[in-house]
Structure 1
Amino acid sequence: MSVDHLLQTIPPLMVYLIAGLVVGIESLGVPLPGEIVLVSAALLSSRQELAVSPLWIGVAAATGAVVGDSIGYALGRRYGASLFGWAARRFPKHFGPAHVTAAERVFARWGMWAVFFGRFIALLRILAGPLAGALRMPYPRFLIANALGGIVWAGGTTAAVYYLGVAAEKWLSRFSWIGLAVGLGAGLAVGWVVKRRTARLVERYAEEQ
């Protein structure tokens, strides 16, 4: 069975559920590859024969982001610093003291904007909900920033990947798979740069601490 035939056996509803669940669990505070899953689902929606709707991909991911962040907020508000102590033992690469300190300083400086733009940054995407709750940010303010950030991130990412996928499919039908390899390489390079900048931010705050 070819890859195309295998993809056609996947029910669209399953794609929506997986995208929403993974993004929601990541937003709750569990380090999962939510962005990778969203991009993969959006790429599937760009294949017309698969009947996967980019609109529902965006809706599922945005819903998962808002609900997951809200649950994370409730957990952070209820358990506070003890939650981060437990998370640091389970996920030291994501919830170490330096990571939490860096996120706290960003929140202290930017407030609601940290929640909104945190959706686009790997470190803050995981910490935003629990940290906002632990720092006692008023929930109405958190919800506004959380909902807007989730909608813009999920909708924008889905739309961008969908249209790039459609354009790439047309382009590749005329040329070769080399273009796809170049595009994937560029995407990986951008991801690496963002990861390095986040790591340097954490290291700088750790040195200051």
Structure 2
Amino acid sequence: MDVTAYVQAVGYLGIFATVFAETGLLVGFFLPGDSLLIAVGLLAAAQKLQLSFALLALFLGSVLGNNLGYYLGYKVGPALLNKARVRAEDLERTRRFMARFGPLSLLIGPYVPVFRAVVPFMCGTIKMPWLRFFALSLLGSLLWTQGLTLLAYYVGSKIPHLERYIYLILLAGVVFGVVLAAWRAYRAGHLRWG
């Protein structure tokens, strides 16, 4: 899928809906989250989108999507996990993990594709207090949507026509992520076996 063509075709309402679905629905992890934000930033730098409207659409989509995910987790999470035969001790381990790292997961989670969809749902499932969740998801959404988009905008404003090379940029990001993961796996294995 050509992300820049997609962004231009769907406009502000479409980028809102895409981020909303990705963060609010458990099936939204296949949507182009990070690449969407980068494309929006580059297109805004090329003056093909209005930056302020795009930033608002992305932020609202993320915040409202997170709250939908929380609500779904709160209402149907335990029953869904019970149907999936999740063991009580696994759920308790998840509760302890979220109690310890929940705030951090809401701040870092938006940068990780599958976490974007799962963390709000799990916060609702384990009944994290909503005000705490809301405050942290506001901050996480702000950092993710505004930070990544503005970074792409800044780079795009310094290098003309960069939006034409978005696939090379995304490919470089994927390669970097794979190399970093492989290096960490190698180091963990090397330290364990060495």
The question of a shared fold, defined as TM-score above 0.5 by the shorter chain, is answered with yes
Corresponding position: 1:53 with 2:44: no
- Aligned partners of 1:19 and 1:102: how far apart in 2? 35
Q: Deviations over 1:116-149 (max 9, x none)?
A: 2211222321111110000000000000000110
Query: Partner letter of residue 178 of structure 2?
Result: W
- Please, which runs of 5 or more residues in structure 1 have no aligned partner? 1-5, 89-99, 201-209
2:142 is matched with 151
Alignment of 1:17-32 (within 5 A): 17-28=13-24, 29-30=26-27, 31=29, 32=31
Alpha-carbon shift at residue 84 of structure 1 (Å): 4.6
Counterparts in 2 of 1:95-174, with a 5 A limit? 106-169=97-160
Q: Which runs of 5+ in 2 are unaligned?
A: 85-90, 186-194
Q: What is the match of residue 81 of structure 1?
A: 78
Do the aligned partners of 1:15 and 1:41 also contact (CA within 8 Å) in 2? no
Q: How far, CA to CA, are the matches of 1:21 and 1:109 in structure 2?
A: 31
Match of 1:68 among 45, 65, 69: 65
Mean Cα displacement is larger for which, 114-123 or 138-147?
Answer: 114-123
Q: Is residue 2:166 matched to residue 1:190?
A: no
Of 12, 16, 29, the match for 2:12 = 16
Q: Please tell me the root mean square deviation across aligned C-alpha atoms, in Å.
A: 3.4
Rate the CA distance shift 1:121–1:85 in 2: closer, same or farther, 3 A: farther
Q: 1:103 to 1:21 in 2, by over 3 A?
A: farther
Contact 1:115 1:146 in 2 (8 A): yes
Please state whether the residue corresponding to 1:137 is helix, strand or coil. Answer: coil
Asked if the contact 1:23/1:34 (under 8 Å) is kept, the reply is: yes
1:42 partner amino acid: G
Give the deviation of 1:168 after TM superposition: 2.1
TM-score, reference length from structure 2: 0.72
Q: Structure 2: how far apart are the matches of 1:165 and 1:17?
A: 23
Name the CA distance, whole Å, in 2 between partners of 1:164 and 1:115: 26
Q: Quick check: 2:69–2:120 contact (8 Å CA) kept in 1?
A: yes
Report the number of matched residues. 171
Alignment-derived partner of residue 42 in structure 2: 43
Q: Provide the residue aligned with 1:91 in structure 2.
A: none
User: Which is bigger in relative contact order (C-alpha 8 A, separation at least 6)?
Assistant: 2
